[in-house]
Chains A and B, each alone.
Chain A
Amino acid sequence: MKAQEEVTNILLVGVGGQGIILASEILCAAAMQSGYDVKKSEVHGMSQRGGAVNSHVRFGKKVFSPLIPAGRTHILVAMEKLEALRWAHHLAPGGVIVVNDFRLDPVSVSSGKASYAGDAVERLRAADDRRVIVADGAAGALEAGDLRTMNTLILGVLSNCLPFARKHWQAAIGAHVKKNMLEVNKRAFETGRSLGGCVTPLEQA
């Protein structure tokens, strides 16, 4: 694992309504509890539903900019595959992409003005200077008991790439999800975590 002097950059992307902001809150809480300085940045407002959403999360010994410099993202976490493609250019060489194999048509597609890149995952994999972890978030979340826990499930997948102890993740989830959704979210997280994917990827990055 990298020394704490360096800042780790994680970009979470997806579609408004998918729980990107909640996922980034949990991620930040886990990072804080693991003893890091943390900053995160996102833009609210025009994208309540159906618009593209992104959240920049950075942690390390000391973080200045809340924005990840372009091309310096270590891990791109995409809750939707077209959004992974949209933000793939932000990835640093040797970076990791955690992508939810889930498709949501933007209105530009459904209204016939553009076409959906059905081969998004293949295109992500085409570049060989990165590692792509694909997870079926919908299946896993349904297995856990609620489709809405897709975001927590993907965090579970991501957790294999990060140096935070499981107890910090659990505490972070406990602090940010509603009581009546806690158990199903914990299950979704563990399901995602059990999917494995990467060990110490930050050294490769």
Chain B
Amino acid sequence: MATRQEERLIQERKLLLSGNEAAAAAAWEAGVVYATGYPGTPSTEILETLTTYPGVRCEWAPNEKVALEVAAGASLAGVRTLVAMKHVGLNVAADPLMTLAYTGVCGGLVVITADDPSMHSSQNEQDNRNYARFAKLPLFEPADSSEVRSFLKEAYLLSERYELPVLFRMTTRLCHSKSVCQAGSRGETKTPGYQKDFVRNVMVPANARVMRVKLEQKLGRLAGEVESTGLNRLERRGGTGIITSGNVYNYVREALPKASILKLGISWPLPRKAIREFAASVERCYVVEELDPFLETEVRALGINLSETPHPPSHIGELSPEAVSALFDEASSPEAAPAAVESPGTGEIAPRPPVLCPGCAHRGVFMTLKKMKLTVNGDIGCYTLGALPPLESMDTCLCMGASIGMAYGLERALAGDNKTRVVAVIGDSTFLHSGITPLLNIVYNGGRTTTIILDNSTTAMTGHNEHPGSGRTLGGEPAPALDYQALARAVGIRFVATVDPYDVDLFRLTVERALEFDGPAVVVARRPCVLLPQVRGTVKPKVRLDPEKCTGCGACFRIGCPALGQDEETGKCRVNQAFCTGCGLCTTTCPCEALEL
């Protein structure tokens, strides 16, 4: 029986949606029929959710560049498309993006960039608002899930009105925060059709020069429209005026309840006239924004005399209500202006950083690489945790796919034509994203580098997403699974081996052979992620401890398994049976044979 309140909520169609869920709902309501992207925190759930809606083709592309190009093609057919990615993904997609601004689009095309201030799950915190200015594209910045829904629908209308791709910027705090939304219904979809247009779609220099001028004309028209758009909102209160955008608006509302606010929903191009009028109407005008002084620089360039907050913003990390308060708090010390919300460093509380899961096949790999004293160029994924204590067996992590190029460059610079103890370690999804071309580079340039592909059959860290090697599509349909060995051979690698990383002795032997081999080598360490449903479903015997044999030497703790702890009273090992998956790696580390399967 539904309660009265439940009935009311159902009647009002009120839902508690995350920013990502709201984006999926809005895309469906806007009549999007094609959506692509590459998983990346905090953007992943947008496509994961959208694929559950009917009538939308949703695909994971191998990387963000491919995703945007697919969407550009679909847009040529006149249909509405969505592309979703994390902030650094837009670097990969920047090549098509910069020129897509020139060609423009037919069907509405929106690129969601999910930025990660404070780097909760990223290698940098680049502010992708800069891409709007750089690529000369309109930029939308919603503040909560409800605005995600209304803004995204507006973004499609604007995209088609100006025939421009639209950048839609979200941040971790928006993507992964839930707020109350109204449910909607599916809008009309467009009938596909194609019209050839040489000048518009073929970006040879002569045509690009024509489209370059057209782009500037579009931006000129757009600059007029943003002066009156309902997405920019003026809230008149006290004499202190704040210009802000996105989720930061919520912090400003909370920290400075008496301030007048000019909230920009479209933050590029800027409504210059509206900003001038707002600045002139308040006693003191400030800009409050997260990361780069993007709005501040532009507002100052208009010749507006912005006031300085008592404490200057650091431009580092995520804001919060208290961080905004601190900027304006005359009484507080400069140190009190926090850049980010972080767990306290009281020193006495043992830290609990993320760790490789119990039973993770990567653990044995890193344990072995550490024993072998190899220099390891790592990459982006769960396995980056292999760089942290107690495993500490990764030397570098730069960006998606960088491991292979870096390992080759390092080896070449260190030893010329000779082999070194340098290896590249890269996950399966990351390898398919951008690891194939650097592998080709090693072969082409006569290198000898060893590459270890950690194949766990999934894009694990983002929440188990399918990829071209997983045998499944985003929608769960069967798909051809890439044969890594065949690919490596086709590229020209002559030493190719696949090994189960649970068999640590064989894995070590295989890597030694690869390092000895006179030429580049690829070792595929294959074992599906222990958290995949089909793996979790298999019941395995768990590790047992013989307390008589355990001396409490702590050797097993050096593999960093969360299932192993030290008994407070006896000092001996304790196996948490709820966590243990029975991988047995710890049994290979125990000198007393106290741990057994």
Which stretch from B175-183, B303-311, B364-372, B493-501 is at the chain A interface? B175-183
Rounded to whole Å, the gap between the CB of A89 and the closest CB of chain B is: 5
Q: Which A residues touch B382, using CB under 8 A?
A: 48
Give the chain A neighbours of B557 by CB distance below 8 A.
110-112
- B318-347 CB contacts (< 8 Å) to partner A: 320-322, 325, 338, 341, 343-344, 346
A35 within 8 A of B: yes
CB within 8 Å for A33 and B178 given contacts A51-B355, A110-B565: no
Q: Is B192 an interface residue (CB 8 A)?
A: no
Cβ–Cβ contact B178 & A65, under 8 A: no
A108 vs B566: C-alpha distance when bound (angstroms): 11
Cβ of A63 to closest chain B Cβ, rounded Å: 8
Contact A109–B565 (Cβ < 8 Å): yes
Task: Tell me if A38 counts as interface (CB < 8 A to partner B).
Answer: yes
Is A61 part of the binding interface, using a Cβ–Cβ cutoff of 8 Å? no
Residue-by-residue, is A31-52 near B (CB-CB < 8 Å gives 1, otherwise 0)? 0111101111111111111111
Tell me if A86 counts as interface (CB < 8 A to partner B): yes
- Contact: A87 with B343, CB < 8 Å? yes
Residue of A nearest to B531 (CB): A48
Q: At the interface, yes or no: A113 with Cβ under 8 Å from chain B?
A: yes
Q: Does the CB pair A16–B354 fall under 8 Å? A: yes
Q: How far is the CA of A37 from the CA of B172 in the complex (A)?
A: 21
| Contacting pair B5 A168 (CB below 8 A) | yes
* Cβ < 8 Å to B, chain A residues 122-155: 147
CA distance A111 to B557 in the complex (A): 5
A41 touches which one: B173, B462, B578 (CB < 8 A)?
B173
For B562, the closest partner residue in chain A by CB is A50
Q: Does B258 contact A (CB under 8 A)?
A: no
The complex places the Cα of A107 from the Cα of B320 at a distance, in Å, of 30
Considering residues A71, A85, A86, A107, which has the most beta carbons from chain B within 10 angstroms of its beta carbon?
A107
Contact with B along A54-73 (1 / 0, CB 8 A): 00000000011111011100
State the CA gap A171–B41 with chains docked (Å): 31
In the bound complex, CA of A100 to CA of B32 (Å): 46
Output the nearest chain A residue to B384 by Cβ-Cβ distance. Answer: A46
Indicate if B526 sits at the interface (CB-CB under 8 A).
no
Asked if A45 contacts B3 (CB within 8 A), the reply is no
Q: How large is the interface on A (under 10, 10 to 19, 20 to 34, 35 or more residues)?
A: 35 or more
Q: Determine if A69 and B568 form an interchain contact, defined as CB atoms under 8 angstroms apart.
A: no
Among the listed A35, A64, A70, which residue makes an inter-chain contact with B250, where contact means beta carbons less than 8 Å apart?
A64
Q: A115 vs B350: C-alpha distance in the bound complex, in angstroms?
A: 6
Chain A positions 68 through 89: 1 when the CB is less than 8 Å from some CB of chain B, otherwise 0: 0111000000000011011101
Q: In the complex, A148 Cα to B66 Cα: how many Å?
A: 42
Of the candidates A32, A42, A49, A116, the one having the most CB atoms from chain B within 10 angstroms of its own CB is A49
Indicate which residue in B5, B390, B578 contacts A113 across the interface (CB closer than 8 Å).
Answer: B390
Q: Within 8 Å of chain A (Cβ to Cβ): is B73?
A: no
- A28: interface (CB < 8 Å): yes
Beyond A111-B560, A171-B6, whether A28 also contacts B352 by CB under 8 A is no
Q: Which residues of A contact B172 (CB under 8 A)?
A: 43
Of all chain B residues, the one with the shortest Cβ separation from A13 is B343
A106 contact set on B, CB distance < 8 A: 350-353, 562
Contacts of B312 in A (CB 8 A): none
Taking a contact as CB atoms closer than 8 A, the residue among A65, A108, A167 that contacts B352 in the complex is A108
Cβ of A105 within 8 Å of any chain B Cβ, yes or no, is yes
B564 within 8 A of A: yes
Residues of the B chain whose Cβ atoms lie less than 8 Å from the Cβ of A82: 349-350, 352
B357 touches A86 (CB 8 A): no
Asked if residues A64 and B352 are in contact (CB atoms below 8 Å), the reply is no
What residue in chain A is nearest B576 (Cβ atoms)?
A104
Q: Does B238 contact A (CB under 8 A)?
A: no
Residues of B with C-beta under 8 A to A99: none
Which residue of the partner chain, among A34, A42, A48, A118, contacts B354 with CB atoms under 8 Å?
A48
Chain B nearest Cβ from A7, distance in angstroms: 9
- B96 located at the interface, meaning its Cβ lies under 8 Å from any Cβ of chain A in the complex: no
User: For A37, what are the chain B residues with a Cβ–Cβ distance below 8 Å?
Assistant: 180
B355 to chain A, nearest CB (A): 4
Q: Which parts of B81-106 form the interface with A (CB within 8 Å)? A: none
Interface string of B232-265 (1 = CB under 8 A from A): 0000000000000001011101110000000000
Contacting residues, chain B, for A184 (C-beta < 8 A):
none
A114 interface residue (CB < 8 Å to B): yes
For B577, give the chain A residue with the smallest CB separation.
A147
**Set B178, B253, B350: member contacting A108, Cβ < 8 A:** B350
Whether the Cβ atoms of A65 and B349 lie closer than 8 Å is no
In the bound complex, do residue B173 and residue A67 qualify as a contact, i.e. CB atoms below 8 Å apart?
yes
Distance (whole angstroms) from the CB of A99 to the closest CB of chain B: 14
Instruction: Say how far B19's CB is from chain A's closest CB, in angstroms.
Output: 9
B3 touches A70 (CB 8 A): no
Asked if A167 and B121 sit within 8 Å, CB to CB, the answer is: no
Residue B506 CB within 8 A of the other chain: no
A65/B9 contact (C-beta < 8 A), A32-B14, A37-B180 known: no
A15 at the interface (CB under 8 A from B): yes
Residues in chain A near residue B5, CB distance under 8 A: 33-35, 168
Q: Is the CB of A67 within 8 A of B354?
A: no
Q: CA–CA, A85 to B338, complex, Å?
A: 21
List residues of chain A with CB within 8 A of the CB of B325: 69
Contact check, A69 vs B389: say whether CB atoms are below 8 A apart: no
Q: Give, as a whole number of angstroms, the nearest-CB distance from A45 to chain B.
A: 3
Taken together as a complex, chains A and B put the C-alpha atoms of A32 and B554 apart, in Å, by 49
CA distance A144 to B390 in the complex (A): 37
Q: A49-B358, A86-B344, A113-B389 are in contact. Are A44 and B41 (CB under 8 A)?
A: yes
- In Å, the complex CA distance between A113 and B351 comes to 10
Cβ contacts under 8 Å, B14 to chain A: 32
Tell whether, in the assembled complex, residue A66 and residue B144 are in contact, meaning their CB atoms are under 8 Å apart.
Answer: yes
Contact partner of A50 (CB less than 8 A), chosen from B177, B180, B344, B354, is B354
Across the two chains, which residue of chain B brings its CB closest to A105?
Answer: B565
Cβ-closest chain A residue relative to B320? A67
Closest A residue by C-beta to B462: A45
B2 on the A face (CB < 8 A): yes
Chain A CB within 8 A of B558 CB: yes
Q: Is the CB–CB distance between A107 and B355 below 8 Å?
A: yes
Query: Which partner residue on chain B sits nearest A24 by CB separation?
Result: B178
Question: Is A45's CB under 8 angstroms from B560's CB?
Answer: no
Given contacts A65-B321, A89-B344, A112-B554, contact A43 B354 (CB under 8 A): no
- Contact (Cβ within 8 A) B177 A114: no
Central interface residue in A40, A64, A106, by most chain B CB within 10 Å: A64
A interface footprint on B400-432 (CB within 8 Å = 1, 0 otherwise): 000000000000000000000000000000000
Closest A residue by C-beta to B351: A108
What residues of chain A lie closer than 8 Å to B576, measured between beta carbons?
Answer: 104
Closest to A123 in B: B348
The answer for the CA separation of A180 and B560 in the assembled complex, in Å, is: 34
A-B contact pairs, 10 of them (CB 8 A): A41-B178, A49-B357, A50-B357, A82-B350, A89-B346, A106-B350, A108-B351, A110-B557, A110-B566, A168-B3
Question: Which 7 interchain pairs have the tightest Cβ spacing?
Answer: A45-B121, A51-B354, A66-B177, A114-B350, A45-B41, A106-B352, A105-B565
Inter-chain pairs besides A38-B178, A82-B349, A107-B560, 11 sampled, C-beta below 8 Å? A33-B6, A39-B178, A41-B178, A44-B41, A44-B121, A51-B354, A65-B251, A69-B325, A108-B351, A110-B557, A111-B389
